[in-house]
């Protein structure tokens, strides 16, 4: 049985740290996010692709994000498994991990993409030379990305985290 308080607390920590890091990356260099799904098509079509140096920088600064994105839900699910009384089944671990990933998915969709990117559109989000482009207000693009790629990612990642923790518990 899942501990909803732990899920809410861990989901909040995961979402806040992850969101702050992504916003910092945008402030440092928003061109790191020149990918389909991160920026609208009209913006991507109007700017040159990332240089080799920008791509290298994006990969280097992306490493901490990807470590955090997988390690914290793994830690949370492992802690949940160790604190649980009775036997855990894979489904319990999957639901726990999925909901941790889902918390960031939701915060990213609503706060980062919906409010910050589409509604407010601060200057650090706007790629130079694309000021006023209508794509910045296209929340539909973010919805499509979240409900296709994003949702698939969190289902797979939740199953992977649950599988790892479940196997550790069996050992």
Tokens 């928003």 — which residue?
Answer: 30
**Number of separate domains in the chain:** 1
- The domain in which residue 47 lies consists of 4-170
Q: Mean pLDDT in runs of 10 for the chain (171 residues)? A: 88 98 96 93 96 95 96 97 84 96 98 98 97 97 96 98 93 78
Looking at 29-116, list the stretches that DSSP marks H as alpha helix, in order from N- to C-terminal side: 41-46, 52-83, 90-107
Pick from 133, 150, 125: which is nearest to 24 by CA?
A: 125
pLDDT at 1: 60
């Amino acid at each position: 049985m899942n501990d909803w308080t732990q899920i809410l607390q861990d989901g909040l920590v995961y979402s806040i740290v992850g969101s702050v890091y992504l916003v910092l990356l945008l402030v440092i260099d928003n061109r790191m996010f020149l990918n389909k799904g991160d920026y609208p098509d009209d913006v991507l079509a109007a700017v040159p692709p990332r240089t080799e140096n920008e791509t290298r920088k994006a990969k280097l600064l992306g490493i901490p994000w990807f470590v955090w994105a997988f390690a914290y839900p793994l830690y949370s699910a492992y802690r949940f498994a160790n604190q649980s009384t009775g036997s855990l089944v894979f489904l319990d671990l999957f639901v726990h991990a999925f909901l941790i990933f889902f918390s960031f998915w939701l915060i990213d969709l609503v706060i980062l993409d919906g409010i910050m990117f589409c509604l407010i559109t601060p200057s650090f989000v706007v790629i130079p030379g694309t000021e006023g482009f209508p794509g910045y207000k296209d929340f539909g693009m973010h919805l499509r990305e979240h409900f296709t790629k994003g949702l698939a990612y969190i289902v797979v990642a939740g199953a992977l985290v649950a599988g790892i923790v479940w196997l550790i518990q069996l050992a």
